[in-house]
A and B are shown apart, each in its own frame.
Chain A
Amino acid sequence: MLIQAHNLSVQIGKNRILKNIDLQVDRGQIVTVIGPNGSGKSTLLKTLIGALQPSEGEIIRAPGLSIGYVPQRLHIDETLPMTVQRFLQLPNRASTDAIRETMAQAGLPELLRQQLMSLSGGQLQRVLLARALLEKPDLLLLDEPTQGLDRRGTADFYRQIEQIRQSLNCGVIMVSHDLQVVMRRSEWVICLNGHVCCEGKPELVSSSAEYRALFGFDEDDESLALYSHRGHYQGSGDIREAG
């Protein structure tokens, strides 16, 4: 066990964002958290890294657990000059060899001397990933890592995550709204909407009524992802309207 959440609730101000979440990640396991916008996915990750305090329940980390966190986005203030090379070594210095190896692992070209601010969104995402990998984390937390990537880029990205998991033997928690691709590669899927709607093996979740109700709205604009369930969706139209 790397990390475990027991009956976790998080309250921000008067709003209860997360309610009674249970979650466990083991070494070498990919757990995917999916949910619509505002379902508390990012809040869950932030609570796991300790940026937010649970109002109820607890988080148990394996002793000495090292976490690699890849945030959804990173705002870089233009007042702060920062090269990629320097950023990768925050907070800990690393050898040039280690940096090159990690850059390759994250699928990055030579841009060590570039300013962080000058990177494209996709490049910055990979730099963030590289930085997380440099510490050889036990647990990798990815917040919407494929946002802004096209389908091809997304597929490449997941292939890389798969390789990383094998070479580091780390656990991965990935937050996404990108349904189908994610689910094929993860051991466990948690469908989140403030609380855990349903969870289980990917195939099981994708056929569950709760999952379909939650993502029903996606049918029109993301018909590609849900193509195989089209039949079910016709039938659950009422639920979607009601939701």
Chain B
Amino acid sequence: MLDDFLMRAALAGVGVSLAAAPLGCFIVWRRMAYFGDATAHAAMLGVALSLTLSTPIFAGVLMISLLMAVTVSTLSGRGYAMDTLLGVMAHSALAVGLVAVSFLSGVRIDLMAYLFGDILAVGKTDLAVIWGGAALVLVMIGYRWSALLLSTLSPDLALASGISPRREQLVLTIALAIVVAVAIKVVGVLLIAAMLIIPAATARRFSRTPEAMAVMAAIIGVCANIAGLALSYHFDSPTGPTIVCVVAFLFVALNVVNAVFRRTNRQLSNGQNVA
């Protein structure tokens, strides 16, 4: 089963979607949308680092992403706003990464592959890394779920219940770094942020509880992955961007359906009132 490259690609995409869904929800709730971008940009430096040190790409990216996650978590709330810090770190890390890559002599790396990912080239080892990372992230988030939620809702209420919002933020940023590191091969640097945010944003309108929103985001992400893969195979389009196109389409379509449905509902109930 794993010998088929399409099957490997689908499994890789599903793994990333599952881990990205709950994280994406927290990113939406905490208004950290830029965080995914920043960590993803910083990952370029990680790619350069691994090429220089001849370590696996995953290790270099994970190290740099973790470093950034911890730095941003530590510095936030100390005179700099989160988005400012992220901006500074993201752009400088990306620039340094690109410059570093250009100095690597003899190595012609395909930057496009890291920017947009290459899900069709996923091997069995990659699959193990992705599912290992995804499982780790899901366990981390699942274990801290209530504490994370309460810290997101109100840091003061969390503190009164003996929860440290700073620690929870660190857990969240570390989980995010892990997801970026495992997902870079699948959807690439530029599209990770989209896979984090769009499924969660799509799920918002249809959810009554945080848990429902996370599950819904996971379902949307998984469907978009499989549909995107099929479409890209059919039309011979780049796979990563096709997946993001599908999830963006779902966002628009479900919102339109929701708006129309609500309006019809209102008109119906108005009609009844008049009658």
Which positions in A face B, CB cutoff 8 Å? 46, 49-51, 67-69, 71, 74-77, 79-83, 86-87, 90-92, 113, 115, 135, 141
Contact = CB atoms under 8 A, between A and B. Distances in A.
Contacts of B207: 81
A71 B152 contact: no
A115 B207 CA distance: 11
B43 to A, nearest CB: 26
B210 A86 contact: yes
Contacts of B31: 77, 79
B204 interface: yes
Q: Per DSSP, are chain A's interface residues mostly helix, strand or loop, or mixed? A: loop
Nearest to B200: A79
A80 B160 contact: no
B268 interface: no
Nearest to A143: B156
B161 A91 contact: yes
A205 B28 CA distance: 49
B212 interface: yes
B156 A90 contact: no
25 contacts: A46-B156, A49-B159, A50-B160, A67-B161, A68-B160, A69-B157, A71-B154, A74-B157, A76-B153, A77-B31, A79-B28, A79-B31, A80-B29, A80-B210, A81-B208, A81-B213, A82-B153, A82-B209, A86-B209, A86-B211, A90-B150, A91-B147, A92-B146, A115-B208, A141-B160
B167 to A, nearest CB: 13
Interface of B: 28-29, 31, 146-147, 149-150, 152-161, 163, 204, 207-213
Given A69-B160, A74-B154, A79-B204, 11 more contacts: A49-B159, A49-B160, A51-B160, A69-B157, A71-B157, A77-B29, A79-B29, A80-B29, A81-B207, A91-B158, A141-B160
Contact of B209 (A68, A71, A75, A83): A83
Contacts of A74: 153-154, 157
Interface of B is mostly: helix
A1 B209 CA distance: 39
Contacts of A86: 209-211
B152 A80 contact: yes
A49 B159 CA distance: 6
A8 to B, nearest CB: 17
Q: Which 8 A-B pairs have the closest CB atoms?
A: A69-B160, A91-B146, A49-B160, A80-B29, A81-B207, A90-B150, A51-B159, A86-B209
Contacts of B211: 86
Given A77-B31, A91-B147, A83 B208 contact: yes
Contact of A91 (B155, B163, B210, B213): B163
A219 B154 CA distance: 36
Nearest to B211: A86
A110 to B, nearest CB: 16
B166 to A, nearest CB: 11
A135 B163 CA distance: 14
A216 to B, nearest CB: 32
A233 to B, nearest CB: 36
Contacts of A135: 161
A49 B165 CA distance: 13
A13 to B, nearest CB: 10
Contacts of A49: 156, 159-160
Contacts of B209: 81-83, 86
A17 B265 CA distance: 53
Contacts of A68: 160
A51 B155 contact: yes
Nearest to B148: A91
Interface centre among B29, B149, B153 (most CB of A within 10 A): B153
Contacts of A75: 154
A39 B211 CA distance: 40
Nearest to A48: B160
A69 B150 CA distance: 13
B77 to A, nearest CB: 12
Given A77-B31, A83-B209, A86-B210, A91 B156 contact: no
B213 A90 contact: no
A153 B208 CA distance: 30
Contacts of B156: 46, 49, 51, 69, 71
Contacts of B154: 71, 74-75
Nearest to B144: A91
Given A81-B204, A81-B212, A67 B153 contact: no
